[in-house]
A and B are shown apart, each in its own frame.
Chain A
Amino acid sequence: MAAKPRVAFFDFTGCEGCELNQLNFENQLLDMLEHVDIVEWREAMDDRPGEYDIAFVEGSLSTPDCIKRINDIRRRAKVLVAVGACAVQGGINGMKNTRPIEEVREEVYGKDKYLFPTLPALPLSAVVKVDVNVRGCPMTQLEFLKVFTALVMGKQPVEPNSAVCVECKLKENECVYEKGMICLGPVTRGGCDAHCPSFGQYCTGCRGLVPEPNLKAMEEILVKHGLSVNEAWKRLHLYNSHELEGLKS
C-alpha cells in the first residue's frame, strides 16, 4: 500500500469554530487517522515538517502576513481545501470590506493602529488556487467527512450547489417565508440539509450564493411577502460581502 497522505491544518482570521468541529468527530477521528498522517495542526499538536498532500485551511486573509503564509502553504500543498465560510467566501470578516479600511483599523486598534497592518478580508481563492471548498459557518462534520474520504480515495469531491430550498422541500419543511421570516435559502447553496430551516430558523446564507444567483428575483420574493429588501441585503452581506462585491463589478 502507498504511503498515507500527509495532512495539515492551518488557520487564518476566523473563530476556529470549524477546527473545533473537526476535533469533535469522536466516533470517526480514529478511522480518519487510519488513513492519513497528520503532520501539522496547531490546535492539536506542535511540530512541523515541510510538504503536505492535503492542507485544510480555515479563516479569511486579512493581513499582509496572511498573504505570505497562504502562498507558502499553497506551494507546499498538493491539494488545498478551504474550510468554512471565512476561507471559502470571506465570511463574516468580509463585512469590514463595506467600510473604508482606515476607519475600521482605527475603530479596532485605536491609537496603536500603525502597529497592525490590515487588508480587506479575502477568501483564500482571491489569492491562491483553491482545490476544494467545504462550506458553512461552521462547516458540518458530515460534509467534512465526505470531502475527507473523497480526497483519501484520490478523487475530487462533488460540491453541492443547488439552493437550500431543494433540501427544505425534500424534508417537507414548512417554508419559513410562511412564518413571516426573511430567508436567504432561495439564493444560498445547499448541502447543509437545510439545517437552520429544519429547526424553524431562516437561512443566513452562510454557504455562499448559488452560481448565477438571480438577486433581482430574490428582491421580488421579499416584496411579494411584504418583507424588507433592505434588511435582506444586510443579511446577504453578513457572509457574502466579497462575493457581492464581485457581482457588482
Chain B
Amino acid sequence: MKLNESVSTQEPQDLYLPVMSEVLEVKRLTELETLYTVQLPGGRDLGHQPGQFVEVSVFGVGEAPFSISSSPTRQGVFELGIRRVGLLTEKLAELKPGDKVGIRGPFGHGIDLEKFKGKDVLIIAGGIGLVPMRSLINYVLDRRDEFGRLIICYGSRSDQELLFTDEIAAWQEDPDVDFHVTVDRGSPQWEGKVGVITTLIPGLDLDLDRTVCCVCGPPVMYRFVLLALKSRGLPDEAIYMSLERRMKCGVGKCGHCQINHSYVCQDGPVYHYPDLKSLEEAL
C-alpha cells in the first residue's frame, strides 16, 4: 500500500477555529459542578450522539474537552456539566448568561445507538461519569418505545456530590426506570445505600440475553465494574465503556489521547469492550 492512497479526499479544513457560542443558562449542580446551557450561532443544531464531546475554550485561558450532557433529542441548545478542577474550569465557573465561549466539535465516537435499540439499557455511572450518561438516559426516555428496560446504577463519593438531583428524583419516581444509587460516604441525612458502585450490580434484575451496558466513571472504577458484570454473566459483547483521556485537538492529530494504537478522540471515547482488549493501556 502506498501511503498517499489511504488519505482522505476531503478538502483541508480549518480544524482549530472555535465557533463562538452563547451561554444561555448557568446552573450550579454542586459546590464543584456547574451545568451550562449553550447555543451555537443562530440556534444551529450541534448534531451530536450521546457520548461525544466538544472542545470548549475561553480566550486567554485555554481549551479542553467536555462531554455533552444533553440528549440530541432536545435540539437547539446543548448542555455541558463541568467540574471545577483546573485553570479553564475555574474560568468557566465565572461565566454568566450571555457570555461567549468557543466551541469545536462534536468529536469522537459516541454510543452506537443502533446497537442499543430494542435492548434493555444498563447504565453504570460513577461520579461525573453521569454527565455524558445523562445524554443517553434522556435519549432513551425521549424515545422510550425504541428501547427495552432502562436500568441506571449511579455511584457518588458522597450525597452532597450527587449530580442532577431533581432529575434523579424524577427517575426514582418513574415506574419505567429501574434506578439505583449508592454513595461511598453518606452524611447523617443520607437514607440511601452506602458502598462503592460495584455493590449495586449483584442485586440487579437483568435479562442477560437482551441487555447492553454502558460504563462511565473515574479510571479506577472500570476493572471492578467489569469483574462485577462478568460475574453476573453479562457477555463482553454487551459492554461499552467511555474512557477519559487528554483529547486536546479532537481530530486525531495532537497525540495526547492515544491509548496504544487508538486515538480516543477518533475511536472513542465510547469503546465496545471487545475492542479494548487489544489496548493494554486502556483499563
Residues of A within 8 A of B (CB): 153-156, 158
Helix, strand, loop or mixed for chain A's interface? loop
Task: Report 6 cross-chain contacts, Cβ distance below 8 Å, ordered by A residue.
Answer: A153-B60, A155-B60, A155-B87, A155-B90, A156-B87, A158-B87
B91 neighbours in A (Cβ, 8 Å) = 154-155
- Asked whether any CB of chain A lies closer than 8 Å to the CB of B113, the reply is no
Report the Cα distance A154→B60, complex, angstroms. Answer: 11
* Chain B: CB-nearest residue to A156: B87
Count how many pairs of residues, one from A and one from B, have CB atoms less than 8 Å apart in the complex.
11
A-contact bits for B78-106, CB 8 A (1 contact / 0 none): 00000000010011000000000000000
A50 to B143, CA, bound (A): 62
Minimal Cβ-Cβ distance residue in A for B91: A155
Q: How many residues of B are counted as interface, with CB atoms below 8 angstroms from the partner's CB atoms?
A: 5
Question: Residue B61 at the A interface, CB < 8 A?
Answer: yes
Cα-based distance from A164 to B61 in the complex (angstroms): 25
In the complex, the chain B residue whose C-beta lies closest to that of A158 is B87
Complex-state Cα separation, A153 to B94, whole angstroms: 12
Distance of A43 Cα from B179 Cα, bound (Å) = 65
**B157-202: which have CB < 8 Å to A?**
none
Which of chain B's residues have a CB closer than 8 A to the CB of A153?
60-61
A156–B91 alpha-carbon span in the complex (Å): 10
- Interface core residue of A153, A155, A156, A158 (most chain B CB under 10 Å): A155
Given contacts A156-B87, A158-B87, 6 further A-B contacts (CB under 8 A): A153-B60, A153-B61, A154-B91, A155-B60, A155-B91, A156-B90
Mask: chain B, 109-129; 1 = CB below 8 Å from A; 0 = not: 000000000000000000000
Cα distance A158–B60 in the bound complex, in angstroms: 12
Q: Which residue of A lies closest to B60 (CB)?
A: A153
